[in-house]
Each structure stands twice: as structure tokens, then as C-alpha cells.
A and B are shown apart, each in its own frame.
Chain A
Amino acid sequence: MANPERLAGAPEANVSTEEAIRIENMNKWYGSFHVLRDIDLTVHRGERIVVAGPSGSGKSTMIRCINRLEEHQSGKIVVDGTELTNDLKNIDKVRSEVGMVFQHFNLFPHLTILENCTLAPIWVRKVPKREAEETAMHFLEKVKIPDQAHKYPGMLSGGQQQRVAIARSLCMKPRIMLFDEPTSALDPEMIKEVLDTMIELAEEGMTMLCVTHEMGFAQAVANRVIFMADGQIVEQNNPHDFFHNPQSERTKQFLSQILGH
């Protein structure tokens, strides 16, 4: 677990009042199953939000709606001033501004680490290859694996792969980062190295939304914790009050199950 003291000092320090993401009355169904119900959420620039909740509560689905990996059926999602509709141009624009890190890394196994990192900048941002490689090396150094640049993802450990995935997202210079259970597929020994990278990112003021079960990380880094159950936002609060003074019964039950031992 990450060190709970690191960022606790000034959680609101670099949060601006500018809106990064606004979700209004968003609903989503899988067939007739109502997965997301009336979601309302505003994320400000520089905010670090941890989304927690039991599995099947819709937390992954919610953040996947933000870059339109999932389509919402009613309500409104505005990311960085662009509303997500069926307009493909808007979707591509949002996707190039929003980085995403997946539970299973989803690196491209047929490309080297460096190629993984330069692909999108070269083809989407039209950055010259040379420049893209320099940027990639910069971020690979940041996640502490520059020496693996010419290997293929299959040759790296899970933790290293996930750090490459973070570097790959950062190479697009995103304004918002989404993390979908980034440590759930990792061996315990490797969770820390990924969380450390995420903490470093948070310290630099990145707007982050993390779905995670790492409550230590939530306490250390988040300035807001959102608890979801049954497709709804049940409770949100600052981490201190969320963990020490939960209001709803559902939250208390959840916390007692994950913190009880």
C-alpha cells in the first residue's frame, strides 16, 4: 500500500474551479438492465477522484463513458468543453485528450515498448517520429523503465507493463487520466511500483479518476472519494470523512468488509 502521509497535507492545493468533466443525469442500460442511474458528477481540473464500490456497481462503466468506450443513452457528458454525442469528430477529440489505463494493460504485443508509446502521437497528433520518440523516452524514464524501450510487452513483468501503459497514455499529453482498476491484475509485489507512478502523476496536478480497491491510495492521494452501488453514486466525500465518518448504511457495510481485517 502507498504511504498514506504523502499528499495528505494539502489535498485541495492545486484544484482549480475550472470544470474538466461534467456529467449530468446520465443513464445507461445494457439491454433492459439499468447499469447507470442518474449519474451527476463534476470534476474540476487538478482533482483526484477515487471511485470505489462493490463489483457490478457500475464504476468501471461510468469512467468508460467518459471516453465513450461505452455509450450512454440519456443525459449529458461534457469533457473539456466538448460534449460527447454521436459525432465521431468530438469522440476522437475527447479520446485524444483523455488518457486511459486498463486493468489488463492492453499494450500492443506486436510492437516494442517504444513503438507502443509513439504510435498514437505519430498517427493521431502527427508528431514527427523523432520528436515522438524523445517524448516517449522522457515518459519511460519517468516511469523508470527506459532500458526496456526496445523489448516487446510480453517480455516485461505485469508491473512494468502497467507502467508502460501509463507512459503510453502520457505521451499523448492528456489533460485527464482515467484509471480502470490499474492494480487489480497485478501481483502484490508489483502494486506499489504502479501506485508510486500514479502518486507522482497526482503530485504534478494531473486530473485523475481512478477506479480502484486500493484504499490506502485513496486516503493518500484522492481529494474526493466516490462510492457507487447498484449503478448510483451513493456517497461522496473527502477521504478523511469518507473513511472515518461514512454516512450511508451501504457505505458503512462496504467499508467494514474491505477494511475489517
Chain B
Amino acid sequence: MSDLHAQTVPYVRDTMLPEQSPPAAQSGAVRWLRENLFSSWFNAALTLLGVAVIYFFIAHYFPWFRHGVWNAASLQECRAIIAEKWGPEASGACWAVIRERWNQIIFGFYPTELYWRPILTFVLLFVAMAPVLYTQLPRVLLWGTVAYPLVAMWLLWGGSIWPVVMIAFGFMLGGVILRIVSRWSALGALVAAIVVPVLFWAFLMGPIDDDLSYIAPIALRPIGSDQFGGFLLAIVIGVGGIVMSLPLGIMLALGRQSDMFLIKTLSVVFIEFIRGVPLITLLFVASTLLNYFLPPGTNFDIILRVMILVTLFSAAYIAEVIRGGLAALPRGQYEAADALGLEYWRAQRLIILPQALKISIPGIVSTFIGMFKDTTLVTFVGLYDPLKSIPDAIRNNFEWKGIYWEPFIFVGVIFFVLNFAMSRYSMYLERRLQRDHH
């Protein structure tokens, strides 16, 4: 019995209760099983059913993996080894094809002795991404990130270094002009910063390039786009598309929210048109139609064309994802930025976008993952994607005619690893940007 009689005696606590630690977590495997798998008859039935399904799949497919052969010169040899070892009825994986041809799945038809170039490019990709992905690193490294696309272009396609240097010089020229002229007129600076480099590239680049190549012929062996293939191709298009589609998507999302009628309309039309058209249609545009619009005589690289169209495609999706993020921000954020006198672009850059992009991270990364997987569709415009074209090319050899699952599984595993890494990074980023708790 307590001393406290609520009805009759007024009550005043004279000692405040100290804080106590929570009861020790109740643990144990049996308890976990009971709570999570057998909490009710229905749940128990589902658990048993699930176990049965898993068992069925493993029992059915495991032997195929267990019978796998790694050392053989052809599919026939594989089958002979399996039949000899596991009996004539047994089926098994012929991993020998991967062992023999993995380099084609990764590098396409890139010359074997030049594999160091894509490998170096891939390693440098991480060096270039590091300061963007991990903000703790010194900001100076960002210059390497900015230079990376040109370095990668030169390493992968080869040729003389001077055109690449010229392109970089054109950008620098534009930057310097922008900085100097913007003292007088922002619009004039923008126009000059675009026109002067374009004129430079159009008229001066050729002659200067000739001279420099004559004086200092620094060049790598040129590799044509038709020799690209496999994951080399998928990653080149995927990374290019990701890097270009994010800024474009942001601009489109802001454009769609704009008060200016023309900009808003153009953004809406672009987004809705691109989303309404299958990617394959755009790839066909890249491979055939685009040439009609370009000045005669220009031979635009097919990989670059595909990359541009893939970029436009995913930018439309990114724009919608970011629009969701923008819509999720309370109006008060815009009002507070306005009330402090921040002008539009500053408010967007400092207040609105950091928050909207954070909300949109899962959607953006999903779009990137989807786009990376969609790069396999380039098979339809004659490029050697890792999923169909390369395995087909392998099957065309007499030794590997009839091989089916093994390349798919290998390619699937690599795609999974890359996409899972992207997904994990996005979760890390979300956690790191968490600002509600300590």
C-alpha cells in the first residue's frame, strides 16, 4: 500500500527522482526468433513458406554453381569436364569463358597493351571525385577535379595533347574575360565569355595546334570510339552523364519554378518532352538524326553524342526529383532569405539548394543508378555495351557458341557492386548532412 491517497491528501514531492538508466536490452537468439519470425501462427506459416522457397531455389541452382569449371578452352571442353566429373546428366557453369574473356567485358576492344590508360583514368576518377564527395579534404584539390574531364578525354581517346590544352585554354580565357568584363556589365561579360572562346576554338585552335604539334609532338596513340566497349564504355557514358546532368537538372528545376514565363515554359516543355520519349528514341536521334542538325563536315564522336542525349534524358528526371525537394522546403525559408536582402541566385545557392538537394539525395542517386544501367541500351546504336553486344561478340566465337548465363551473371555482379557502392555513399551523405541531432 502506498501512503498516497489522491482523494484526501494533497501531495507534494519533496525529493525529485534521479535519472535512471534504461533496463538492459533483452536479447538472445530465441527471443529474436520468436519476436521476428514466429510472433503469430500466420507469421510462423509465412516464415516456413519463405524458408521452403529459399531452399527450393538453392537446391535447384546450387549444383550448377558447384559444378562450375574455371579451366577450359571452350564450351565443349567445359561440358566434357562436367560430364566426366558429375555424370552425363549434370549441368554446370562454365566460368572459363569469364577467365578467358573478362578483359573484353571490361575494356571492349581497347588494345590490350594500352589497358593502363583506362585503368589510370579510372583511378584518377576517384582522385578527382574525392574532394567533391568528402568535403573534409583541402579545397585546392578541386582544381584537379575541374581538369579531370579533359585529362580523361586525352587518356582514353589519345591523339595529340595540344587540342586538349587548347580546349582548356579556351575555358580559362572565358573565365578571365568573365572576371574582367563583369566589372562593367554582367550581361556583357557573359556574352564575351562565351563568344571569345568559341571564336578561339573555331579559328585559332587549328593553326596553333598544327604549329605546336610540329614543335612539340606530344601524343598518345589515338583510339577510335569503335574500339571502346564493355564497362569502359558504360562507365564513360555513365560518369559523363551523371556529371553533366546534375547541373543541368538543377537549372531545369529552378527554371520550372521561375516567375519568368518564357523560361518556365521552355523548362516544362523540355522536361515533359524528354520524359515522354523512350531513351532508345533519343539514342537513335544521337546516332542518326543529330548529324542532320550539325554543320556538314563535322564528325561528332558517337560516344559524345550518346553521352549528350543520355545527359539530357537523365537531367529531365533529375529536374523533377529536385523540384520535389524544392517543393518540400517551407515557404519561410524563401521568405527569410528575401527578408535578409539576399538576391535570387545567392539565396538559391546558399539557402534553398543545399536543403533541397539534401532532401532529393535518394531520388537523385536512384536516377543516377537507373541511368548507369540504361547505358546498356547503347547496344541499339551499335556500341558495344557490356550486357548484350560484348557477350554476343564472345558467343560468335566457335569455342563459346551456346554460352548463355555466365556472362550475364558476371556483368550483373559488376553492375551490382558499382550501384550498391553509389547507394551506400548516398546513405552516408544523408547521415552526414543530418542536422537535427547532435
Contact = CB atoms under 8 A, between A and B. Distances in A.
A98 to B, nearest CB: 8
Contact of A123 (B339, B346, B358, B436): B346
Interface in A78-107: 88, 92-93, 95-96, 98-100, 102, 104-107
A110 interface: yes
Nearest to B433: A110
Interface in A46-73: 67-69
B332 interface: yes
Given A69-B339, A92-B341, A108 B333 contact: yes
B350 interface: yes
B358 A110 contact: yes
B35 interface: no
Interface string A150-168: 0011110000000000001
A109 interface: yes
A172 B340 contact: yes
A82 to B, nearest CB: 12
Contacts of B346: 123-124
A99 B336 CA distance: 10
Contacts of B336: 100, 102, 106-108
Nearest to A120: B340
A154 B339 CA distance: 21
Given A109-B435, A110-B435, A95 B338 contact: yes
A152 B339 contact: no
A172 B341 CA distance: 10
A119 interface: yes
Most buried by A among B333, B350, B433: B350
B303 to A, nearest CB: 38
Nearest to A125: B341
Contact of B342 (A68, A100, A123, A154): A123
B133 to A, nearest CB: 18
A69 B338 contact: yes
B335 A69 contact: yes
B329 to A, nearest CB: 10
Most buried by A among B340, B355, B433: B340
A24 B335 CA distance: 24
Interface string A123-136: 11000000000000
B28 to A, nearest CB: 36
A248 to B, nearest CB: 32
Contact of B332 (A102, A120, A169): A102
B330 A104 contact: yes
Contacts of A92: 341, 343
Given A98-B339, A124-B340, 7 more contacts: A67-B338, A69-B339, A106-B332, A106-B335, A108-B336, A109-B355, A123-B346
29 contacts: A67-B339, A69-B339, A93-B341, A95-B338, A95-B340, A95-B341, A100-B339, A102-B332, A102-B339, A104-B330, A105-B332, A106-B330, A106-B333, A106-B335, A107-B336, A108-B333, A108-B351, A109-B355, A110-B354, A110-B433, A120-B340, A120-B341, A120-B342, A123-B350, A124-B342, A152-B436, A155-B436, A155-B437, A169-B340
Interface of A: 67-69, 88, 92-93, 95-96, 98-100, 102, 104-110, 119-120, 123-124, 152-155, 168-169, 172
Which 10 pairs between the two chains have the least Cβ-Cβ distance? A96-B341, A106-B336, A106-B332, A120-B340, A95-B341, A100-B339, A154-B436, A152-B435, A124-B341, A110-B354
